[in-house]
Amino acid sequence: MADPLASTPFRTTLRTTKVLQGPFHPLSITNLPSTPQSAFKTWYQEALDSDVREPHAMTLSTVDTSGYPDGRVLILKNLDSRGWHFAIKADSPKGQQLANNPRCALTFYWPGMARQIRVRGDCGVSAG
């Protein structure tokens, strides 16, 4: 059987692709804001100031009825005391998954800052 770890041109391509190339914007955790929302807003402004492209794009992770995770990119539409807001169709796969199981996660990745933001919780559905 072929060695799955044997070197291939694509493996070499992957291992020579650059990642986490600094310099990075320093992250201060000594003066963390009092709420996740205010922390996110501070970091979002830093992403804008660092010219991160599409910093409001995020991966929404859900779970299907078989327990398999699913994920796709969405755009963040709002952030308030209730949480992070996004717009989806109720009859879409993600809408059906959330109706069945509201547990979800959001992941933002901001290249150039070497920063990811992870949010987990229960998803509530509202019109508008």
Ligand X SMILES: Cc1cc2nc3c(=O)[nH]c(=O)nc-3n(C[C@H](O)[C@H](O)[C@H](O)COP(=O)(O)O)c2cc1C
Between residues 11 and 77, which has the closer beta carbon with respect to ligand X? 77
Window of 10-18, 40-48, 70-78, 117-125 that interacts with ligand X by CB under 6 A? 70-78
Candidates 73, 90, 99, 125; binder of ligand X (CB under 6 A) is 73
Between residues 106 and 113, which has the closer beta carbon with respect to ligand X? 106
Buried-exposed string 96-112: b where 16+ CB fall within 10 A, e elsewhere: ebbeeeeebbbebebee
Beta partners for residue 104, in sequence order: 121
- Tokens of residue 66, six digits: 């078989």
69 binds ligand X (CB under 6 A): no
Candidates 36, 37, 57, 105; binder of ligand X (CB under 6 A) is 57
How many CB atoms are closer than 10 A to CB 41? 13
Structural contact between residues 103 and 67, judged by C-beta atoms closer than 8 angstroms: no
Window of 2-10, 12-20, 85-93, 100-108 that interacts with ligand X by CB under 6 A? 85-93
- Rg of the chain (C-alpha set): 18
Q: Which stretches of the chain bind ligand X, using CB under 6 A?
A: 57, 70, 72-75, 86-88, 92-94
